[in-house]
Amino acid sequence: MLYPVADTPAVSPSPRRGLSSMTQLVVLVLIFSLGLFLGRYVMPAGELRYSPLKFVAVKEGERQLIFPTFWEAWDKLHANFINGLDDEKLYYGAVAGMVRAADDPYTVFSPPAETKQFEETIQGSFSGIGIEIGMRNNLVTVIAPLAGSPAERAGVQEGDIIIAVDDDKLTSDTSLDEVVRKIRGEQGQAVKISVARAGAGEAIDINIVRDTISIESVRLEIADGLAHVVVTNFNGDTAKQFATAARQLREQARGVILDMRSNPGGFLDAAVDITSQFVAKGTLVVSEKGKANKEYPAKGGATLAGLPVVVVVNGGSASASEIVAGALHDQAQAPIVGVKTFGKGSVQEFLKLSDGSSLRVTVAKWFTPSGRSINEEGIEPTVPMEQNQDTEEDEQLQRAREELLKIIEGRPSP
């Protein structure tokens, strides 16, 4: 029998990815998801490093020397359980239980099939309902529905607390990944989620038909020289899409409103790349503090350096979007309009195991260039502005335009 033992520290600086809290972003983009992000799983920002496992051979008769209680329970279960048992399911369940005992909602184990789904999800196209979920006060909370997703069309809102899936009630022991598994399914199939919503007297049942979701992560509009750039998430294509938009902005815009409302996060690399469009090469973007500390500087380019910028965020802005907002405020003096962000500032390292399964392990926490912790604290707006749900006017966006004009015209902000 083969037993895995830890290898030397993870290597290969594969792209550092933020999964994108606290969602776990299990960025779970339900989609997956995972949101994700990361946790965003999660999506969600974290580094994608592939760490191989070494295996040592152990004779069958010597297995009692390794985890004797585990094997005793294994044997007694097989000897006494009334029904048949799936050994693979038991094995992966045992590993998942060990990881769950770390008592961190973003540190999770995924068997091979779920790992494959996760890897497909973070590339920007997947099948699901299109929401990012995370843990808040030990409750499975919607960070944000993705723009144009089945979940958004069905009426799922930021801050909804998921209490049941297809009438199967969630408990305090239900993990984010379990919720994801319950919600995921084939394209065209329906799923019912029951949510508790602030201001609603009773649970709300929402029926959603799963669909293939392709994410357009950057949208741009320019009017009267004022650019409104919406970044919906930070996936593998976001930095490239934003770089294309930046060239147009440099030529046509007097200022930029960077709208990251309900952006659940994603890859750290994308967050650093986008920030690098606004600040000089080498400027600190974010710091990672954990067993090992690390700083992430701007990479260069700075196509938009010196161009006035205002950031718009809300409670669904998490992970990588919080990194960008914090960096632009600290390093480019960008006003932040909206409400406090989600507060998903933990770093998950994605470790691919030899059988195709994987671990996402919390290894550090994010801090803005000025030293403010993002995790569970979020980014506070410098221009607080609630969005009135009873009006069709986008009051936060309008306030952002006013702030941008003040900068362009040299007028002081209050």
Digit-coded pLDDT (tens) for 206-260: 999 999 877 678 999 999 999 999 999 898 889 999 999 999 999 999 999 999 9
Position 123 scores a pLDDT of 63
Residue 313 lies in a domain: yes
Active site residue 330: yes
HSE at residue 226, side-chain half, CA atoms within 13 A, is 17
**Dihedral-angle region of residue 262 (phi above 0 means left; psi in -120 to 50 means alpha; beta otherwise):** left
Its domain, for residue 153, covers 124-214
pLDDT tier at 68, thresholds 50, 70, 90: confident
**Are 272 and 387 part of one and the same domain?**
yes
pLDDT for 144-188, tens place per residue? 898 788 999 999 999 999 999 999 999 988 888 889 888 988 889
Predicted local confidence at residue 26, as pLDDT: 34
| Amino acid letter, 406 | K
Query: Per the residue annotation, which of 110, 344, 352, 357 is the catalytic one?
Result: 344
Q: What is the pLDDT of residues 26-43, one digit of tens each?
A: 333 333 233 333 232 333
Q: Which residues contact 64 (CB under 8 A, 6 or more apart)?
A: 71
Catalytic residue of the set 319, 321, 346, 357: 319
Are 92 and 169 in the same domain? Answer: no
Count the Cβ atoms, other than its own, within 10 Å of residue 45. Answer: 41
Indicate the average pLDDT of the chain.
83
Would 351 be classed as within a structural domain?
no
> Would you say 38 and 28 are in contact if contact means Cβ atoms under 8 Å apart?
yes
Overall number of domains in the chain: 3
Q: How far is CA 277 from the centre of its chain?
A: 22
**Three-state SS sequence of 146-182:** CCCCHHHHHCCCCCCEEEEECCEECCCCCCHHHHHHH
pLDDT at 332 over 50: yes
- Contact (CB, 8 A) for 339 and 389: no
**Structural tokens at position 259:** 């709208």
Q: Mark whether 274 and 397 lie in a shared domain.
A: yes
Coil, strand or helix: which one is 397? helix
The CATH code of the domain that includes 188 is 2.30.42.10
Domain C-terminal end among 168, 188, 214: 214
Q: What is the pLDDT of residue 293?
A: 94
Q: What is the pLDDT of residues 6-27, one digit of tens each?
A: 222 222 233 333 433 333 333 3
Residue 357, in any domain of the structure: no
Please indicate, yes or no, whether residues 335 and 389 belong to a single structural domain of this protein.
yes
Task: Please tell me whether residues 43 and 143 are part of one structural domain.
Answer: no
Asked if the model's pLDDT at residue 64 lies above 70, the reply is no
Q: In a 3-state reduction of DSSP, which class is residue 92?
A: helix
Q: Is residue 119 part of a domain?
A: no
Q: Is residue 132 part of a domain?
A: yes
